[in-house]
Copies of this chain bind each other. A is one copy, B any other.
Amino acid sequence: MDARISFADRLKTMQGDQPLDACPVRQVMQGIFGKWSTLLLQALGERPYRFGELRRLVPDISQRMLTQTLRDLERDGYVYRKVLPSKPPRVEYGLTALGASMLGPLTDLVVWASDNFAAVDAARRRFDADEAAGASGSG
């Protein structure tokens, strides 16, 4: 697919029959961009993990959000959930083929963020400093 066709044209096409809110691309993006989705997808990109392993790997996630995020990812088809029939119940989560194919582009973006967060942080500080100066400069 051509990645560089006119975005505005695509936008207009989408508005033709749907309220822009129903834009399928946005629906998909929203599923990927939750607070924890990206993190968990990256983790599962390495190897399958069990529920408790993920908790320990990402210590500041609440068990509520871990459950919910994994469910959402499973619902969207990125993640499978396999219940191992052992005495203490074990549940393994891993990427599906769909999830693996999405992880490529997602990781590229994560890598960009990793490479450029210093520039972003600098921009933020500049912006905040300018704002503060403008707000109190004449006081």
**What residues of B have a CB within 8 angstroms of the CB of A75 in the complex?**
123-124, 127-128
Contact (Cβ within 8 A) A28 B120: yes
**What residues of B have a CB within 8 angstroms of the CB of A32 in the complex?**
33, 109, 113
**What residues of B have a CB within 8 angstroms of the CB of A29 in the complex?**
33, 38, 109-110, 113
Contact surface of A with B, Cβ cutoff 8 Å:
1, 3-4, 6-8, 11, 15, 19-21, 24-33, 35, 38-39, 42-43, 45-46, 57-60, 74-77, 98, 101-102, 104-117, 119-124, 126-128
7 contacts between A and B (CB under 8 A): A1-B115, A11-B57, A15-B59, A27-B121, A30-B35, A75-B128, A98-B119
